[in-house]
Structure 1
Amino acid sequence: MPVGEYSLRLQEGITGGFAPPTPNLIHTITQPLNSDTLTIITALRPVGTPSLQNLAPKYLTKDDENSKLVDELHGILKNLPTESPPGSQDIYGLDTSIAWGSDDLEWMNGSPQGCGGGTSEVQATDEQKAQFKRAVEIVKQLAADK
């Protein structure tokens, strides 16, 4: 079933500890209701700089290829666990979080404050880690310049 309206956010740099995490990259992708265009906003922290810099927004046509990628991403996230308690540990080991919000799915690994608060009661299997890695690849593919 095709995914309708949604918003997702990928953040690289989620592990912290006493200090909050320092994000290096944030991709935000939204699919507005009744629109055939994905809106992609990227913020990047160049090496050696203290803060994120916003890049110009991109607009991507919701064609068959992009729709298949989004449907694959949605399907992957529906079947992946998140850490418990939230933000306790980066259970996928990629220092990356994805947050997805749609009518049928609210999913997020990590927390707004990042990870670093201990050990999660839930651990990802090697197969789940590979699936999460694929989810990250999909977001990056959608956000990449074409």
Structure 2
Amino acid sequence: MAPSEFSLRLQHGITGGFAPPTPSAIHTVTKTPTINTLQISSAIRPHGTPSLQDALPKQLSVDEPTEALVDELHTILKSIPTESPPGSEDIYGLDTSIAYGSDDLQWQNGGPRGCGGGESFVKATDEDKAKFKRAVEIITHLVEKSQ
């Protein structure tokens, strides 16, 4: 069952090197137990520009299909690893990070400042990579469905 309260951030653009990464998009999704909607905001950096545009707030009603997607996302994140040490390597190879927090799960790949500092001791299997890709698809679907 999906948690009644959670917050997540999906960031595209997490790999860097000497310089920190330049995100191309940051999407946040928040659910509180008192409101039956997801609060969603998206900040996107247009191609060729140096910074993200201001995030615009949107909402998405939590109906059965949305609840099922959130539950699937939660289940996926509980089952896949993160890199170790944090921020060392993009083990999923998508230049994308998810930071997720609920009462029973704290999960983040990509470290707080992205990836670019070495090799991870933990590696993602092909199955893990497919699950992570599905998690990104779920979040993207929720963001695109919001109004």
Query: So what's the TM-score if we normalise by structure 2?
Result: 0.97
Per the alignment, in what secondary structure is the counterpart of residue 48 of structure 2?
Answer: coil
Residues 83-136 of structure 1, C-alpha deviation per residue, up to 9 Å, x if partnerless? 000000000000000000000000000111110100000000001000000000
Provide the C-alpha distance between the structure 2 equivalents of 1:123 and 1:58, rounded to a whole number of angstroms: 36
Shift >4 Å, 4+ stretches: none
Aligned pair count reads: 146
Deviation at residue 33 of structure 1 after TM alignment: 2.3
Q: Give structure 1 stretches of 5+ with no counterpart.
A: none
| Aligned-partner SS, 1:47 | coil
129-138 or 26-35: bigger deviation: 26-35
Q: Which residue of 2 aligns with 1:101?
A: 101
Measure how far apart 1:4 and its partner are.
1.2
What is the CA–CA distance in structure 2 between the aligned matches of 1:55 and 1:118, rounded to whole Å?
32
Structure 1 vs Structure 2 CA RMSD? 0.9
Name the amino acid aligned to 1:22. Answer: T
Residue in 2 that maps onto 1:140: 140
Structure 2, unaligned runs of 5 or more: none
Task: Find the counterpart in structure 2 of residue 7 from structure 1.
Answer: 7
Q: Which residue of 2 aligns with 1:71?
A: 71
Judge conservation of contact 1:39–1:58 (CA < 8 Å) in 2.
Answer: yes
TM-score (ref. length: structure 1): 0.97
